[in-house]
Structures are given as structure tokens and as C-alpha cells.
Amino acid sequence: MINKSFKIFLIILFFSPNILVANTEYFEEGLSLFKKKKFNEAKFKFEQDIVFNPKSEMSYLYLSKIFRSFDDKNLEEQNLNTVILINPKNEEAIYNLAKLKLDSSDYKKSEELNDRLMGVCDNFCEKSKKLKKEIENLSKK
């Protein structure tokens, strides 16, 4: 006879892959909708993904992009900060937040974020260098 804890283990094992597949489906659907510029529908799918996976770095990143398209700087910033909280080395989030701060004339914060980006950059090194020049030029005005 199979003991009770083993039965519970088998039940969890049986249902876990279905939960994981459902989680990735929300993100994949959101990404597909995002690429089609169906931002409201994509937003809903990314939010669903976050319900099942609160540390979904990429869902927060795409939500920040959606809020940028909606011109909602507060929610864009909130989602970028969440991405950076989850992954302090997410170059795209650091870069986008630095640009957002620059757009709001917060040169000091933009410079701090860009310095942070230069310390971890792999893919955004060139963008970081351009941003540094842009910060310097705008802060002189």
C-alpha cells in the first residue's frame, strides 16, 4: 500500500508541470500580443503571468514598455524599479530608467543609473556611452 505522503507527492508532481506550462503561456501570449501592438491585451496577459510568477522579470519589463506607450511615466518607473529589484543587473531596465530620469530632468539620478549600467553592461555599453554624453550635454544647459 502506498503511504499518504507519497500519494500527495505524486499528485503535486502530476499537477506541477501543468501549472508551469500555464505560467509560461501567459507570458508568451503577452509577448505575441505586444509584438502586434495590442497593448491592452498584452498588459492583461503579463499581469496574469505575474499572478502566477511574482518574480517574472520579463513581464514587469514589458509592462514598463506598455506604460511607456501609454505615456504613464509613474507606472513605467514603478515597473522598471521592480525589474531592477528582481534583477539588479538587468541592463535594459537600468538604461530605460536612466532615460526616463533624464527626460524628467533628474540628471543626477540618470547619471547614477548610467554609472551603474556601465558597471554591468554587456549589451548596452554603446547605448550607455551615448547616454553619458547626452546627460553631460543636457546638464550643462
29 and 83, same domain (yes or no): yes
Distance CA 25, CA 30 (A): 8
Angle at which helices 57-69 and 39-52 cross, to 10°: 150
110 and 54, same domain (yes or no): no
pLDDT value, residue 21: 46
Distance CA 138, CA 141 (A): 6
79 and 23, same domain (yes or no): yes
51 and 99, same domain (yes or no): no
pLDDT value, residue 12: 58
- Structural domain boundaries, residue 128: 90-141
Per-residue pLDDT of the chain (141 residues; tens, 9 = 90+): 455 654 555 455 455 544 444 557 999 999 999 999 999 999 999 999 999 999 999 999 999 999 999 999 999 999 999 999 999 999 999 999 999 999 999 999 999 999 999 999 999 999 999 999 999 988 876
Instruction: Name, in order, each residue with C-beta under 8 angstroms of 54's C-beta and a sequence gap of 6 or more.
Output: none
Q: Is residue 44 included in any domain, yes or no?
A: yes
66 and 25, same domain (yes or no): yes
DSSP letter (8 states) at residue 100: H
77 and 118, same domain (yes or no): no
pLDDT value, residue 5: 56
* Inter-CA distances, 137 with 8, 11, 55, 86, 119, Å: 63, 61, 37, 32, 21
**How many CB atoms are located within 10 Å of the residue 70 CB?**
13
pLDDT value, residue 3: 59
Q: Please tell me the pTM assigned to this model.
A: 0.82
pLDDT value, residue 14: 54
